[in-house]
Amino acid sequence: MDRELVERARGGDRDAFTVLVHQISDRLYAIAHRILRDGDLAQDALQNAIVTAWRQLPHLRDADRFEAWSQRILVHACYAESRRRGRSAATVRLISFSPSTPDTSDALADRDEIERAFRRLSPDHRAVLVLHHYLGLPLVEVAATLGIPAGTARSRLHNASRVLRSAIEADSQPTIEEVRLA
Amino acid sequence: MSDARRLEQMTREFLELGPTRAPDDAVRAALLAVQTTPQERDFGFRLRPSQRWLPLRLAMAAAIVVVALVGVGQLQLPTGNVGGGPSPSATASPAVTPNPSLTPSPSPTPLDTTTWLTFTSDRYGVSVLHPADWVVTRASEFWDLQADRNMFRVGLVLDTLVAPSNNPQFHVFSMGLPPGTSEDAFLAEFSKFTLDPECIPPRVEWAPITIDGRPALLVANTCSPYAVAFAFVDGRVYGFRLFDLAEYPDGLLFRTILTTVRLNPGDALEAPSPAPSPAPSASPGSSPSPPTP
């Protein structure tokens, strides 16, 4: 990230901010989409995050932290979007994927399984999984991005993984009806 | 699935799927909202919402003092007959009293438009000239007051003409006025529900001008560096907005562009459904819905 651009934007230069937004918007949207599991919600979160980042940019102390700082704003925008729509877990749409390469039925089944399980997670569990497993951030960076202590980030990641595993295992159990039929 | 490593691997592969590119419209709308959004300056303490305009007001007061001291007449936005055509009644409304700070001043030489290109808005029935290197983005939806106050929709309802550096920008928008809606009622609603209502001077301070020979009104935002002009023709309202005035603080660019506007209300497309509109007898206290934050 160009430190000079950040400094100029912090000083009120909208053109500089526009350049910065074009540099980070794809990644921000990808994060929002993976947390919210919905394109419309992700767009709203992205837009809110961009405007909030512009408004609050003078408060950013370290220009080198601009991208992480904007990701934190985005994650909070995702939380707000989830609360506002009140459907963070229950009514979000399934995302349809079009794999570019042939996929095995096992892989598809795994993907469906994890999609269903992921939708059951709370937004903060999804956020920690996305930051750690999608962005590849180490836990210290995850904690810094979310504005929480490192220990909290660690336990949140552990809990998210546990809930995800439980949800997958619950999905894979036969239903009572299936047991009866057998 | 009990294998922790396999779960981690599955999670990674799952998260790799999905979009990796932000929709252009969404980014464009957000950046447009940024154009009218002031930054929160760090004063060492957090301002309460009611105090957030204080620094701007102080800055404006200081600016007024400076302007008064040095008597810089050219900081005034030019007004008067910018359209070059006849001005049937000089004002759009007999109630209008020109703002002293917006009264006509000796106009600087208009910009050379001989190399400019014509943009014709099929949606809104208007044409205008613009510098040849500007980028035009047509509106994909119809403009109305609801859309204009929604910072995330407004970018979709404007014909936008933008300089290569993204600044300045010229916006074109229009809508049919619902039957019975007066020009004053429309302008009152616009002022009340725009994104930054505190920054639009009272209606009586808007300056009368003409556009394409029609009476029109012009006002400069007091917080952000933009101005907006409205013309009313055959039951339609036409709006024109220019960000940012910084490059031409005397309003020369805006004035020059406005002289090239041609209004063709007969060519405008009609919005498919009745547009949300101000009440016919709207008054300053009439039933507002909360503006979009």
Residue A97 lies in a domain: no
Do A60 and A25 belong to one domain?
yes
CB-nearest to B39 from A26, A54, A115 is A54
CB-nearest to A51 from B23, B151, B244 is B151
Do A29 and A88 belong to one domain?
yes
Q: Residue A73 maps to which CATH number?
A: 1.10.1740.10
Domains held by chain A: number: 2
Contacts of A4 (CB under 8 A, 6+ apart): none
CA nearest B201: which of B97, B51, B81? B97
Candidates B13, B27, B37, B43: best to mutate against A (most CBs of A within 10 A) is: B27
- Chain B positions touching A26 (Cβ under 8 A) are 20-22
Q: What is the pLDDT of residue B201?
A: 80
Spans of all domains in chain B:
3-83, 117-267
Please state the separation of Cα A152 from the chain's center in Å.
17
Rounded distance, CA A172 to CA A112, Å?
11
Domain C-terminal end among A92, A122, A154: A92
Domain C-terminal end among A69, A92, A115: A92
CA distance B5 to chain A (A): 11
Do A74 and A109 belong to one domain?
no
Percent of the residues in chain A that have a pLDDT greater than 70, as a whole number: 80
Q: What is the pLDDT of residue B31?
A: 92
pTM, to two decimals: 0.48
Q: What is the pLDDT of residue A173?
A: 60
Q: Is B293 helix (H, G, I), strand (E, B) or coil?
A: coil
Do A68 and A130 belong to one domain?
no
Angle at B36 between CA B206 and CA B170, to 5 degrees: 70
Candidates A50, A52, A111, A121: best to mutate against B (most CBs of B within 10 A) is: A50
Is residue B136 left, alpha or beta, with left meaning phi > 0 and alpha meaning psi from -120 to 50?
Answer: beta
φ, ψ for residue A87, nearest 5 deg: -140, 40
Contacts of A22 (CB under 8 A, 6+ apart): B27
Do A23 and A86 belong to one domain?
yes
Q: A26-58 pLDDT, tens per residue?
A: 999 999 999 998 999 999 999 999 998 998 888
Domain C-terminal end among A92, A119, A142: A92
Q: Thinking of the domain B117-267, which architecture would CATH place it in?
A: 3-Layer(aba) Sandwich (3.40)
The side-by-side arrangement of strands in the sheet containing B262-263 is: B117-121, B126-130, B262-263
- B/e letters for A47-86, b = 16+ CB within 10 Å, e = fewer, are bbbbbbbbbebeebeebebbbbbbbbbbbbbbbbbbeeee
Do A114 and A157 belong to one domain?
yes
- Chain B positions touching A44 (Cβ under 8 A) are 152
Rounded distance, CA B161 to CA B170, Å?
5
Q: Examine the pLDDT at A24 and tell me if it is beyond 70.
A: yes
Do A112 and A52 belong to one domain?
no
Q: Examine the pLDDT at A144 and tell me if it is beyond 60.
A: yes
More confident position, B165 or A161: A161
Q: What is the pLDDT of residue A97?
A: 35
Rounded distance, CA A17 to CA A23, Å?
10
Q: Residue A114 maps to which CATH number?
A: 1.10.10.10
What are the E-state strand segments in B102-141?
117-121, 126-130, 135-137
Q: Which chain B residues have any C-beta within 8 angstroms of a chain A C-beta?
A: 1-2, 4, 7-8, 10-23, 26-27, 29-31, 33-35, 37-42, 151-152, 165-167, 244
Residuewise pLDDT in 10s, chain B (293 residues): 456 777 888 888 889 888 999 999 999 999 988 888 887 653 333 333 333 444 444 444 444 444 444 433 333 443 444 443 333 333 333 333 333 333 344 455 678 899 999 999 999 999 999 999 999 989 988 998 888 776 667 778 999 998 887 678 899 999 999 888 888 888 888 877 665 566 678 878 888 899 999 999 998 876 666 788 999 999 999 999 987 666 666 678 898 999 999 999 999 998 876 544 444 333 333 333 333 32
Do A3 and A82 belong to one domain?
yes
Do A3 and A32 belong to one domain?
yes
Q: What is the pLDDT of residue A59?
A: 80
Tell if the CB–CB gap between A129 and B16 is shorter than 8 Å: no
CB-nearest to B34 from A14, A25, A26 is A14
Size of interface A-B (CB pairs under 8 A): 117
Do A134 and A157 belong to one domain?
yes
Do A108 and A151 belong to one domain?
yes
Give the mean model confidence (pLDDT) for residues A115-128: 88
The side-by-side arrangement of strands in the sheet containing B159-162 is: B80-81, B207-211, B214-220, B226-233, B236-243, B169-176, B159-162, B135-137
Percent of the residues in chain A that have a pLDDT greater than 90, as a whole number: 36
φ, ψ for residue B104, nearest 5 deg: -55, 140
Tell if the CB–CB gap between B15 and A130 is shorter than 8 Å: yes
Residue A98 lies in a domain: no
- Chain B positions touching A22 (Cβ under 8 A) are 27
Candidates B11, B16, B153: best to mutate against A (most CBs of A within 10 A) is: B11
Q: Any idea what DSSP says for residue B36?
A: T
Q: What is the pLDDT of residue B37?
A: 81
Q: Examine the pLDDT at A111 and tell me if it is beyond 90.
A: no
Count Cα neighbours of B252 within 13 Å in the Cβ-side half-sphere.
15
As given in the structure block, the two tokens for residue B92 are: 């759009």
As given in the structure block, the two tokens for residue A151 are: 């220990």
Tell if the CB–CB gap between B22 and A161 is shorter than 8 Å: no
- Chain B positions touching A47 (Cβ under 8 A) are 26, 29-30, 33, 151-152
Q: What is the pLDDT of residue B249?
A: 62
Nearest chain B Cα to A61, which residue?
Answer: B42
Residue A62 sits in which domain range?
Answer: 1-92
As given in the structure block, the two tokens for residue A92 are: 């979000």
Do A71 and A135 belong to one domain?
no
